[in-house]
Amino acid sequence: MAGMDGSGDAHGRPLPVGTQVVTLVPVGGGRIVPAGAVATIVAAPGREVDSYRIRFPDGDEAAVARGDIAVRAHLQHAGLRPTPPPAATATCTGM
């Protein structure tokens, strides 16, 4: 979860440079990259910049808001959690 200002983690700290992220919305640098693309943070927000600079595997870069990216490891861990079984629908038959 993002910090109070949307720029960091749940504790309000910015995500560190080098963190792998996944885009949650299409983003544009030199081209439009679809949601779900993996990238690495190369610059974090500072005093003069309020967005993250991310680099995709092909070398293209884009500036994104914290709400437009998710930490890749968090998504991977969420995907490994067992899903609850569907609600059972019991059918009673009379004898």
Query: How many whole angstroms from its chain centre is CA 17?
Result: 15
pLDDT tens-digit map of 51-82: 999 999 999 999 999 999 999 998 887 775 55
Per-residue pLDDT, averaged over 6-30, amounts to: 79
Cβ atoms of 41 and 35 within 8 Å: the answer is no
Length reported for the chain: 95
Distance between CA 54 and CA 58 in Å, rounded? 12
Q: Higher pLDDT residue, 53 or 28?
A: 53
Per-residue pLDDT, averaged over 88-93, amounts to: 57
| CATH class, 20-80 region | mainly beta
Residue 10 in tokens: 């749940």
Positive or negative, the CA dihedral 5, 9, 14, 19 is negative
Q: Please give the angle made by the CA atoms of 52, 7 and 78, to the nearest 5 degrees.
A: 90
Listed residue (16, 25, 26) closest to 53, CA to CA: 16
